[in-house]
């Protein structure tokens, strides 16, 4: 018998959120370390970017991936310390953002969460990367 694809959350174990953005979408995965010392998925997320969002800079898209993920994962991570991983090194300054108004606004919105940002290589961010690159159907509306 194989391990289940998803695991039920254990609210006594720290969460790990990984995020990524591509040209046309964002993706994230909420994970927890199991007794086997491996990380197991709890929730998968992906979203196609709107036409307006497609025009954002890479940094804005990567930051939006975090905002989107934490908005959706709030019931899991609110009030708990967790780790957030991104392969976009520029977002390590997110807690002290200045300049770009959009990034500043998002930085302020994320201050309600208790997390640290860790930079990981793109090769280590396979799940969130795959979710952000999902083949999204063309919009009909």
pLDDT in tens, 13-60: 999 999 999 889 999 999 999 888 889 999 999 999 999 999 998 888
pLDDT for residue 30: 97
Model confidence pLDDT, tens digit, residues 50-87: 999 999 988 889 889 999 999 999 999 999 999 999 88
Cα angle for residues 130, 108, 84 (degrees, 5° grid): 35
Question: pTM of the predicted model, to two decimals?
Answer: 0.81
Domain 15-132: give its CATH code.
3.30.420.10
Residue 6 has pLDDT above 80, yes or no: yes
Between residues 105 and 18, which one has the greater pLDDT? 18
**Cα–Cα distance between 76 and 86 in angstroms, integer?**
19
Domain residue spans in the chain?
A: 15-132
**Cα–Cα distance between 21 and 65 in angstroms, integer?**
6
Q: Is 30 exposed, middle or buried (0-12, 13-18, 19+ CB in 10 A)?
A: buried
**Beta bridge pairs of residue 48:** 25
């Amino acid at each position: 018998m194989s391990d289940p694809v998803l695991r039920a959350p254990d609210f006594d174990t720290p969460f790990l959120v990984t995020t990524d953005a591509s040209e046309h979408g964002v993706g994230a995965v909420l994970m927890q370390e199991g007794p086997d010392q491996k990380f197991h998925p709890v929730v998968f997320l992906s979203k196609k970017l709107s036409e307006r969002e497609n025009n954002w800079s890479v940094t804005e898209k990567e930051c939006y991936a975090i905002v989107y993920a934490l908005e959706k994962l709030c019931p899991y991570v609110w009030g708990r310390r967790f780790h957030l991983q991104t392969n976009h090194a520029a977002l390590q300054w997110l807690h002290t953002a200045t300049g770009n108004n959009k990034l500043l606004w998002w930085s302020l919105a994320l201050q309600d969460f208790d997390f640290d940002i860790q930079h990981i290589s793109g090769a280590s961010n396979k799940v969130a990367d795959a979710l952000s690159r999902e083949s999204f159907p063309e919009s009909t509306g």
